[in-house]
């Protein structure tokens, strides 16, 4: 019998059997469908267009294989496409032709329309052949660093200047002293064109005095200094009796029982006196005390007498030479326990920076063992024996000395390089002196150019004294030359020393080429220049508007003294 549903109102007592028979056609006893009871084809009705929405499709249900061929091709192309790295496209990912073009561009010289746009202006000037504006006529076109026309200083912000300023900052904070080596000719020994020589008024000492004012450090020492200032003139710390040969930075006894008395210009606790061990034995006393014998060995080396632990004050050391040819080469003094400005003034009259061997006894660069009294050997031995190192080293040589003795520009450059080499590790500065009498004009111009080149080589400042005073004629006409018409008066030596100090300390400096008795300055203060007949008169300036600089004070002015205002 065919299965059917029960008939309502009929099938009495049999409707349950009929219903169960109907249900069992497609259901198991537990109510689940019999698999064979479902016809897939019958239930797979075609959905209407647009009736299937995203929400009705199961996540991840559609595979790539279910997509049409065109869509599968497009997706494959996208998957293989280049993806730019987050850091940018590397050169190696570019076409070889593009890589070659970029390499060529890297090596090409690119000119900037504006020099100030370039980070390294010095290198840019050299590459472009553009020298700083306003340079003196003798400056080379290859000069690459800035020129400060207001100061007449070239390369004022070179690498060495940063070292100098760091050293001066420690000095100002009283956390360290500073050692300055100054190498110069007669301008460095305090020669104003006539005797006497007064080293305390020389350019390097005026520079040290100005640095003392600027940093607030009152302690200045006479550092390593030659015994002889110039031919026949000892350094002013010495008083000689008997007969001595003076020159080449040394003093040499030529008569038995000659004496040399060293008197310190400042109070101190330590003294060193340098001598040649080739000298005969001699003796010395300190402040009139007992005689001390010094036994020498007749070797051409430098030795020193070291006196320490002295009472703080002015001291005298008397050296007695029982026989002839006692050779003294230098001295220094200082005070223990203080952060001081040590000015090592290795300057002497007639210094010549050359390497020919001519005038060897007054030749900075001579270092031969056959010339034991030559300055080159004396300087290097004294520095070695002292054990000193220097923070700053300056060279100030005039072309008037350089031009004598059959020298040429290349020799002068070598000599200056040798001089800077005496202070390895020190921050250098250069001073191109004024071209004064007897100088070959061609050499003077070449020498001026070489100072610019050397300033570039050492990346250091170069003070152009020649340009600063507008040449020799202006220098003489302005009364800055002494009695010989060549060497600067003490007032001008003070000006140059303070000019160097202010620039090194990065402080404003107001200098003039003309010196009336009272010079008003832009900040309302005054520079006082003592003149003949003014002693002991104080020039008529406002009270409190003056700074006095120098070993002397207004109560003991003398003709020629200079009082230079130091502006803050």
The more confident residue out of 116 and 99 is 99
Q: In whole angstroms, what is the distance from residue 401 CA to residue 348 CA?
A: 11
Q: Which residues contact 353 (CB under 8 A, 6 or more apart)?
A: 364, 365, 395, 397, 401, 402, 411, 412, 415, 416, 418, 419
The more confident residue out of 420 and 111 is 420
Lowest mean pLDDT among 227-236, 431-440, 453-462: 431-440
Residue 182 has pLDDT above 60, yes or no: yes
Average pLDDT over residues 152-181: 92
The answer to whether residues 417 and 449 touch, using CB atoms and an 8 Å cutoff, is no
Q: Which of 314, 338, 362 is the last residue of a domain?
A: 338
* Cβ-defined contacts of 115-122 (< 8 Å, 24+): 121/146, 122/456
Q: Across 298-312, 443-457, 485-499, 520-534, which has the greatest mean pLDDT?
A: 298-312
Residue 199 inside a domain? The answer is: yes
pLDDT digits (tens, 9 = 90+) for 287-308: 999 999 999 998 888 999 999 9
Using alpha carbons, list the distances in angstroms from residue 1 to 17, 22, 28, 236, 557. Answer: 12, 11, 20, 151, 153
What pLDDT does 92 receive?
79
Residue 332 β-bridge partners: 272
What pLDDT does 360 receive?
41
Instruction: Judge if 230 and 211 occupy the same domain.
Output: no
* Residues 217-240: b if buried by 16+ CB within 10 A, e if exposed: bebbbbbbbbbbbbeebbbbbbeb
Instruction: Judge if 317 and 444 occupy the same domain.
Output: no
* Token couple for 361: 């006894």
The more confident residue out of 394 and 467 is 394
The more confident residue out of 185 and 371 is 185
Residue 110 inside a domain? The answer is: no
Residue 66 inside a domain? The answer is: no
Average pLDDT over residues 389-412: 76
pLDDT digits (tens, 9 = 90+) for 504-514: 988 766 554 32
Specify whether the backbone of 465 is left (phi greater than 0), alpha (psi in -120 to 50) or beta. Answer: alpha
Percentage of the chain exceeding pLDDT 70:
74
Residue 252 β-bridge partners: 245, 327
Instruction: Judge if 281 and 315 occupy the same domain.
Output: yes
Instruction: Judge if 470 and 426 occupy the same domain.
Output: yes
Q: How far is CA 275 from the centre of its chain?
A: 34
Average pLDDT over residues 125-141: 73
The CATH number of whichever domain residue 507 belongs to comes to 3.40.50.1110
Residue 94 inside a domain? The answer is: no
Instruction: Judge if 354 and 471 occupy the same domain.
Output: yes
Residue 520 inside a domain? The answer is: yes
Instruction: Judge if 357 and 431 occupy the same domain.
Output: yes
> With the C-alpha atoms ordered 277, 282, 286, 292, is the resulting torsion angle positive or negative?
positive
Q: In whole angstroms, what is the distance from residue 418 CA to residue 356 CA?
A: 13
Residue 232 inside a domain? The answer is: yes
Residue 38 inside a domain? The answer is: no
- Number of structural domains (the chain) is 4
Residue 142 has pLDDT above 80, yes or no: yes
> With the C-alpha atoms ordered 170, 173, 174, 179, is the resulting torsion angle positive or negative?
positive
* Token couple for 430: 């250069």
Domain that holds residue 15: 1-32
Residue 123: pLDDT band (50, 70, 90) is low
Helices (H) and strands (E) in the chain, counts: 14, 24
Q: In whole angstroms, what is the distance from residue 500 CA to residue 210 CA?
A: 9
The answer to whether residues 261 and 273 touch, using CB atoms and an 8 Å cutoff, is no
Instruction: Judge if 452 and 411 occupy the same domain.
Output: yes
What pLDDT does 558 receive?
42
Instruction: Judge if 366 and 507 occupy the same domain.
Output: yes
Average per-residue pLDDT in the chain?
78
Residue 186 inside a domain? The answer is: yes
What pLDDT does 367 receive?
41
pLDDT digits (tens, 9 = 90+) for 207-216: 998 888 788 8
Q: Which of 282, 315, 338 is the last residue of a domain?
A: 338
Q: Is 87 helix (H, G, I), strand (E, B) or coil?
A: coil
pLDDT digits (tens, 9 = 90+) for 339-353: 999 999 999 887 766
As a three-state string, the secondary structure of 185-214 is CHHHCCCCCCCCCCHHHCHHHHHHHHHHHH
Instruction: Judge if 377 and 505 occupy the same domain.
Output: yes
Q: In whole angstroms, what is the distance from residue 510 CA to residue 453 CA?
A: 27
The CATH number of whichever domain residue 239 belongs to comes to 2.60.120.260
The answer to whether residues 318 and 213 touch, using CB atoms and an 8 Å cutoff, is no
Residue 341 β-bridge partners: 178, 220
What pLDDT does 443 receive?
67
Cis peptide, bond prior to residue 536, ω within 30 of zero: yes
Residue 464 has pLDDT above 80, yes or no: yes
Instruction: Judge if 428 and 539 occupy the same domain.
Output: no
Q: Which residues contact 517 (CB under 8 A, 6 or more apart)?
A: 528, 529, 531, 534, 539
Instruction: Judge if 25 and 151 occupy the same domain.
Output: no
Residue 555: pLDDT band (50, 70, 90) is very low
Q: In whole angstroms, what is the distance from residue 16 CA to residue 42 CA?
A: 29
Nearest to 351 by CA among 187, 236, 499: 187
The more confident residue out of 27 and 327 is 327
Percentage of the chain exceeding pLDDT 90:
32
Q: Which of 290, 318, 338 is the last residue of a domain?
A: 338
The answer to whether residues 225 and 332 touch, using CB atoms and an 8 Å cutoff, is yes
Using alpha carbons, list the distances in angstroms from residue 359 to 38, 365, 375, 418. Answer: 127, 11, 10, 16
Using alpha carbons, list the distances in angstroms from residue 364 to 32, 289, 354, 542, 554. Answer: 119, 37, 7, 47, 38
What pLDDT does 522 receive?
38
Instruction: Judge if 226 and 298 occupy the same domain.
Output: yes
Lowest mean pLDDT among 25-39, 149-163, 225-239, 460-474: 25-39
Q: In whole angstroms, what is the distance from residue 505 CA to residue 498 CA?
A: 10
């Amino acid at each position: 019998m065919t299965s059917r549903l029960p008939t309502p109102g009929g099938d009495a007592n049999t409707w349950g059997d009929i219903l169960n028979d109907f249900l069992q056609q497609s259901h198991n006893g537990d109510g689940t469908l019999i698999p064979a009871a479902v016809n897939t084809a019958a239930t797979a009705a075609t959905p209407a267009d647009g009736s299937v929405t995203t929400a009705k499709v199961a996540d991840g249900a559609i595979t790539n294989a279910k997509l049409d061929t065109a869509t599968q091709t497009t997706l494959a192309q996208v998957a293989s496409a280049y993806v730019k790295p987050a850091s940018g496209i590397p050169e190696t990912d570019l076409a070889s032709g593009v890589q070659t073009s970029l390499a060529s561009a890297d090596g090409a010289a690119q000119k900037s329309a504006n020099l100030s746009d370039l980070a390294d202006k010095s290198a840019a000037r050299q590459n472009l052949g553009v020298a700083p504006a306003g340079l003196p006529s003798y400056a080379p076109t290859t000069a690459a660093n800035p020129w400060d026309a207001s100061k007449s200083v070239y390369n004022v912000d070179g690498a060495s200047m940063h070292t100098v300023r760091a050293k001066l900052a420690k000095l100002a904070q009283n956390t360290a002293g500073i050692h300055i080596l100054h190498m110069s000719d007669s301008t460095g020994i305090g020669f104003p064109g006539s005797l006497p020589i007064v080293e305390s008024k020389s350019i390097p000492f005026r520079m040290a005095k100005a640095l003392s004012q600027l940093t607030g450090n009152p302690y200045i020492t006479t550092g390593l200094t030659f015994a002889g200032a110039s031919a026949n003139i000892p350094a002013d710390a010495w008083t000689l009796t008997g007969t001595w040969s003076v020159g080449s930075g040394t003093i040499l006894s030529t008569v038995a029982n000659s004496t040399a008395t060293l008197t310190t210009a400042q109070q101190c606790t330590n003294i060193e006196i340098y001598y040649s061990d080739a000298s005969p034995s001699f003796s010395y006393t300190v402040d009139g005390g007992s005689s001390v014998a010094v036994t020498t060995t007749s070797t051409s080396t430098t030795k020193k007498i070291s006196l320490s632990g002295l009472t703080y004050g002015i001291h005298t050391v008397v050296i007695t030479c029982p026989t002839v040819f006692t050779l003294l080469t230098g001295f220094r003094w200082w005070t223990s326990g203080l952060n001081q400005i040590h000015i090592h003034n290795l300057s002497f009259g007639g210094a010549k920076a050359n390497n020919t061997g001519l005038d060897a006894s007054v030749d900075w660069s001579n270092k031969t063992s056959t010339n034991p009294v030559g300055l080159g050997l004396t300087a290097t031995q004294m520095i070695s024996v002292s054990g000193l190192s220097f923070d700053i080293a300056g060279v100030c040589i005039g072309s008037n000395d350089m031009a004598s003795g059959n020298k040429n520009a290349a020799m002068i450059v070598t000599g200056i390089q040798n001089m800077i080499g005496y202070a390895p590790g020190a921050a250098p500065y250069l001073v191109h002196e004024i071209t004064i009498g007897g100088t070959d004009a061609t050499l003077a111009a070449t020498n001026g150019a070489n100072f610019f080149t050397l300033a570039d080589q050492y990346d250091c400042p170069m003070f152009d004294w020649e340009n600063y005073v507008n040449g020799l004629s202006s220098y003489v006409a302005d009364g800055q030359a002494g009695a010989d018409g060549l060497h600067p008066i003490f007032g001008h030596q003070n000006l140059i020393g303070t000019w160097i100090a202010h620039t090194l300390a990065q402080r404003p400096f107001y200098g003039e080429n003309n010196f009336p008795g009272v010079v008003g300055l832009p900040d309302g203060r005054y520079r006082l220049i003592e003149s003949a007949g003014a002693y002991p008169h104080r020039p008529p300036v406002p009270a409190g508007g003056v700074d006095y600089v120098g070993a002397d004070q207004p109560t003991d002015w003398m003709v020629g003294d200079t009082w230079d205002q130091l502006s803050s």
